Amino acid sequence: MILNWVDGFEINVRIENGTAIISANKEGLLSLADNFKSLAEEPSGSHIHLDAYNSLENDSAELILEKI
């Protein structure tokens, strides 16, 4: 699966009191929406793994999106 990112995207994931909070600018939200749509077209078990080394801001918690 090819991920598409809108230029200038910023995405941060943090965990507060057991709650995952995803913060993003407009470009980040558009990028996530496009990548969620791409994941929806993949077979069950497919996933997207995002972390500070792969698309998230440096202080982000990692995020795994999985299609069931």
Closest to 2 in 3D by CA, of 43, 68, 48: 48
Contact, 46 vs 64, CB < 8 A? no
| 59 pLDDT tier (thresholds 50, 70, 90) | very high
Q: Could you list the residue range(s) of the whole structural domain that residue 29 is in? A: 11-66
The residue whose two tokens read 């709650």 is 19
Contact, 63 vs 56, CB < 8 A? yes
Q: Is residue 46 part of a domain?
A: yes
Q: Is residue 54 part of a domain?
A: yes
Q: What is the pTM of this model?
A: 0.89
Number of structural domains the chain divides into: 1
pLDDT at 27: 98
The predicted-structure confidence for 5-47, as pLDDT tens digits, reads as follows 999 999 999 999 999 999 999 999 999 999 999 999 999 999 9
pLDDT at 22: 98
pLDDT at 42: 97
Q: Is residue 4 part of a domain?
A: no
